Every structure is written in structure tokens, then in C-alpha cells.
């Protein structure tokens, strides 16, 4: 079957970005390329009212390169949009005409409301927010888009001229930034928010943010915490961390900001304005947490294009974590009956232990995901397949899991066989003490459940698990002789016994 290749181009105030994907079955797509050019169309726009000749030339060069890229990748459908800077520039229509000619395709200038809608499409595709009151924000160089929502229901779209490039040029003429100028900037942002929301006080539990400012925030916080994940997508940051970062950035000149781990040096001059807006938004809405959406407007364009072409149903824009895990497992050709059976036994053990050890729903979700994925390393090689499973999982795009949770799932799966967690295992030592305990407990359950399906025949069921006088009595039910399965359980009960303290005794009658 011939696969369709799509491209989405976002011509923003700070940069031009292009994502190329290949549409797959069941509404999925795989990213083939992600190109970025920092063109700064908003440079001096506030003073002159027009895109400067230098920025104009940079944009033409970038689009020329992007055309060669999408032609070379044989892209058949292109969605290209221009946003805030082009909307407001006097020579915006001329620029769009030149760029459309250079691209060989129409470029649409979209409204701030459509920008917000595209950001929301992406956020709803990537995050499970059922029953939660939250806001989605996309911070660009020229404007910030805000979408308020409850669960999957959008309440309202807003677009405010509070972009990082525009505000930097207007309020921060000196290096380093003067405290008085920053206070003036804060008063302006607060006034704009009060005006946009007519003085009403809206409260949300969390933010989902996209755009370069947000991804930079995520990577800087990750470095502050001394964590290492393969992606910042889905990463959770706290407002307190944002406040501390802003204070640190304010003390540095631009050269000092360029040296901050996690911050792209190209963004060092506009990061204070960008984060300042985020801080004021969180203050205004009373939000304490922010989830990083690394995709944003371009992914919104891709999803909308796939829906238009009939490659994705409307409801496929909103995913389910279990379906996402199983789809990934199937793409690795996993043994589904074995993995489902192991998951069933593991969850039965978890439920028996949950009250005594205060194991909650989030841990149950991690265990179930790890059980489905524990053997996907076979896709690469049988030898050390537990290690291959670890690497495949930690780099996977699993819906509904933050980077920290994805890392834990990977480690739980990694310890289903062979070595127990050791001090020389660097990835295990990077976890917090609480997370290491969780990995050992859930890994112990998974390891034991895997042993109890030694012949991959689904012969055993865990009927009962009782903890009495330091031992664990596990009653098993088998449809035929299960001596091999009991042997497998005894061979793989070591991590469980270490994590929960006590010996396991198997009972069959």
C-alpha cells in the first residue's frame, strides 16, 4: 500500500519550521524530518511596522531550502501557514506572495484564533485530560494563544500580542535586563490579561504549553533536576521552578544566558520575555504545573490535513494510553497472548498487595504498560532482549505518559529477566529513591508473572496472594500440569522477595 507523505510549514515571528511525516494505518504518522530556521521576521517590526529586508531575505532562503527538502522527500500534501508577524506587517502580503512562489504552493495567513485551534488539536491528541479544567498555551515570537478547556471540550480561544520577540524589543533595550524594565513588562502583561479576560478570574489546574519558550523551559528544568530523558515531551514543570529560573536569567547578561544548560543559544535574547509571559499566565490562572507539548501548531496542521484526506477519523485525534501501548507493541511484533496473560497475572498480584503497600492507580498503569512491552526487545534480538526492550520503550512515543513515567516503564520491563537492579546500573541510580523502590516492586511482580508463564501457554492463573508471618502464599490454578510454570516462578521470584520482603510459597490445591 502506498503511503502518503505530508508536510506542515509554520511561518512564525521568530522562526520558520517544517515537519514532514508519513501517514500510516489507523490514523498514525511517523515523523521523517523536522526543519527549523531562525529568521526573526519580527525583528524591528514594532518600530517600523514592516518585515525588514534582511529578515525578508532570510525567509526566502529558508523556504527555498524547505521546498528542496519536501520535493526530495516526495511530499504530496503541504499545509503552509503564516502567523503573527505576517498578519501585522505592512509588507506581509508581499512576503506571502514571494514565499508562496518560492514554495510552489499557497501559503495562508491565519488568524490568532486559528493558531489557538491548531495548538489545541495537537494538545488534545497528546494528553489525556478527562475531567480536568486546564488551559493550553502556545507562545510564539509575536503572540500568545490561549485555549481554556474542560476535558476534551474547548471553552474559548484567545490570541494576545504578547510574543517573546515583540515584547523583548519593546521592554528590554539593555543587556543585562534592568529590574525597572522587567517590572514595566510585568505591569503591561497583567494589564493585557485583565483586558482580554474582562477582569474575570479563571482558575485552572494545569497548563499544556507549546512553542520554543516552553520546550526551553522543560529542558532547563530537566537540567536543574539533573534528569536525563530522551525527550521533553510530556515533561511536567512547577511554577516555583519557573520563578527560580527567571530570577537566575535576570542576573545574567546574554552571554551568560547562552551558557545555561538546556537553553538553545539562539533563544537567549528572548527567553526572559517568553518565560515572563508564562509566569504571568500561571499567576493569573492560579496554575501550579505545566506540561510540555513538544509538537504544537505544526502537528495540529498535520492532524487536520489527515482528517481532511480521510486518513484519520475525528475521534482518532484523542488517544487512549492503553491503545497507544498496544499499537507500539504490535509494531514490534510482540507475542500478544503471552503479554496479555502476564499482564493479567501481574495486575492480580498488584491488586492483592496494593492496600498493604499503598500502591496506587498510577503505579498500576505503569505495571500494565510494562507487562505489555516487556518482550518487545525480541524485535531486535533474543540476546539481551530485556535491554533492547528498555531502549525501545524509553524512546517510544507513548501517549499518556510523562518522560519520567516512560523511563520507569522501561526499567520495570528491563528487570523482567537476568540481573537485578545494581549500583553499576547508571540509569537505575539516576532515579529518585522513591522511584527506585517502585521499579523494584513492579519489576519484581512482572518478573514473577513472566516466570509463571514459562511455556507461554497461559496455563496458570493467580487465584490468591496472602501475606502471613513474613511469607507470601500464592495459590495457583492450572488447566493441566503446571510444574514447569512453578519452576519458572521459583527461578524468577528473587526480585519480588527482595522488594517486598519475605519468601514466596506456591500452592496448587
Alpha carbon 35 to its chain's center: 19
Instruction: Label residue 119 exposed, middle or buried (CB < 10 Å: 0-12, 13-18, 19+).
Output: buried
CB atoms within 10 A of CB 278: 26
pTM of the shown model: 0.87
Cell output for 440 = 523494584
User: CA-to-CA distance for 208 and 281, rounded, in angstroms?
Assistant: 12
Collect all residues with Cβ–Cβ distance below 8 Å to 259 and sequence separation of at least 6.
Answer: none
Residue-wise DSSP of 338-391? HHHHHHHHHHHHHHHHHHHHT--HHHHHHHHHHHHHTTGGGGT-STTHHHHHHH
Q: Where are the alpha helices (DSSP H) in 239-335?
A: 239-250, 254-258, 271-285, 297-308, 321-331
The number of CA neighbours under 13 Å toward the Cβ of 200 is 5
Predicted confidence pLDDT, tens digits, the chain (509 residues) = 568 999 999 999 999 999 999 998 678 899 999 999 999 999 999 899 999 999 999 999 999 999 999 999 999 999 999 999 999 999 999 999 999 999 999 999 999 999 999 999 999 999 988 888 999 999 999 999 999 999 888 999 999 999 999 999 999 999 999 999 999 999 999 999 999 998 677 889 899 999 999 999 999 999 999 999 989 999 999 999 999 999 999 999 999 999 999 999 999 999 999 999 999 999 999 999 999 999 999 999 999 999 999 888 765 545 789 999 998 999 899 999 999 999 999 999 999 999 999 999 999 999 999 999 999 999 999 999 999 999 999 999 898 899 999 999 999 999 999 999 998 999 999 999 999 999 999 999 999 999 999 999 999 998 899 998 889 999 999 989 999 999 999 999 999 999 999 999 999 96
Amino acid at each position: 500500500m502506498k503511503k502518503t507523505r505530508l508536510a506542515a510549514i509554520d511561518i512564525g515571528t521568530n522562526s520558520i519550521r517544517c515537519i514532514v511525516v508519513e501517514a500510516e494505518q489507523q490514523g498514525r504518522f511517523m515523523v521523517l524530518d523536522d526543519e527549523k530556521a531562525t529568521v526573526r521576521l519580527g525583528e524591528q517590526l514594532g518600530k517600523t511596522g514592516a518585515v525588514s529586508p534582511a529578515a525578508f531575505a532570510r525567509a526566502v532562503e529558508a523556504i527555498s531550502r524547505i521546498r528542496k527538502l519536501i520535493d526530495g522527500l516526495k511530499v504530496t500534501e503541504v499545509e503552509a501557514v503564516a502567523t503573527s508577524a505576517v498578519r501585522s506587517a505592512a509588507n506581509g502580503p508581499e512576503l506571502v506572495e514571494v514565499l508562496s512562489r518560492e514554495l510552489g504552493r499557497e501559503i495562508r495567513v491565519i488568524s490568532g484564533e486559528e493558531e489557538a485551534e491548531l495548538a489545541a488539536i495537537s494538545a488534545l491528541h497528546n494528553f489525556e485530560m478527562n475531567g480536568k479544567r486546564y488551559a493550553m498555551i502556545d507562545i510564539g515570537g509575536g503572540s500568545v494563544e490561549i485555549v481554556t478547556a474542560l476535558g476534551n471540550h474547548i471553552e474559548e480561544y484567545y490570541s494576545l500580542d504578547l510574543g517573546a520577540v515583540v515584547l523583548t524589543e519593546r521592554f528590554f533595550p539593555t543587556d543585562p535586563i534592568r529590574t525597572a524594565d522587567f517590572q514595566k513588562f510585568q505591569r503591561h502583561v497583567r494589564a493585557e490579561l485583565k483586558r482580554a479576560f474582562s477582569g474575570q478570574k479563571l482558575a485552572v489546574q494545569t497548563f499544556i504549553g507549546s512553542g520554543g519558550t516552553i520546550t526551553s523551559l522543560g529542558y532547563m528544568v530537566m537540567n536543574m533536576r539533573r534528569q536525563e530523558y530522551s525527550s521533553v515531551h510530556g515533561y511536567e514543570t512547577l511554577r516555583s521552578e519557573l520563578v527560580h529560573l527567571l530570577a537566575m536569567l535576570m542576573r545574567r547578561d546574554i552571554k551568560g544566558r547562552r551558557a545555561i544548560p538546556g537553553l538553545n543559544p539562539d533563544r537567549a535574547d528572548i527567553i526572559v520575555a517568553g518565560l515572563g509571559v508564562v509566569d504571568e499566565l500561571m499567576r493569573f490562572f492560579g496554575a501550579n504545573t505545566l506540561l510540555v507539548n513538544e509538537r504544537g501548531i505544526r502537528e495540529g496542521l498535520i492532524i487536520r490535513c489527515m482528517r481532511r484526506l480521510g486518513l484519520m477519523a475525528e475521534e482518532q485525534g484523542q488517544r487512549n494510553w492503553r491503545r497507544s501501548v498496544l499499537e507500539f507493541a504490535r509494531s514490534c511484533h510482540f507475542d500478544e497472548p503471552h503479554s496479555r496473560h502476564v499482564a493479567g497475572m501481574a495486575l492480580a498480584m498488584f491488586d492483592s498487595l496494593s492496600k498493604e503497600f499503598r500502591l496506587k492507580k498510577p503505579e498500576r498503569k505503569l505495571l500494565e504498560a510494562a507487562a505489555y512491552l516487556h518482550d518487545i526487545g525480541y524485535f531486535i534480538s533474543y540476546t539481551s532482549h530485556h535491554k533492547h526492550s528498555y531502549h525501545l520503550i524509553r524512546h517510544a512515543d507513548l501517549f499518556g505518559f510523562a518522560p519520567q513515567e516512560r523511563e520507569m516503564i522501561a526499567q520495570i520491563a528491563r528487570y523482567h529477566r537476568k540481573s537485578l537492579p545494581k549500583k553499576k546500573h547508571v540509569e537505575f541510580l539516576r532515579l529518585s529513591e522513591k522511584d527506585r523502590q517502585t521499579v523494584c516492586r513492579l519489576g519484581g511482580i512482572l518478573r514473577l508473572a513472566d516466570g509463571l508463564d514459562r511455556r507461554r501457554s497461559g496455563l496458570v492463573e493467580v487465584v490468591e496472594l496472602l501475606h502471613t508471618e513474613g511469607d507470601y502464599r500464592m495459590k495457583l490454578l492450572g488447566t493441566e500440569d503446571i510444574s514447569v510454570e512453578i519452576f519458572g516462578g521459583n527461578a524468577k521470584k528473587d526480585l519480588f522477595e527482595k522488594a517486598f520482603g519475605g519468601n514466596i510459597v506456591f500452592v496448587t490445591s
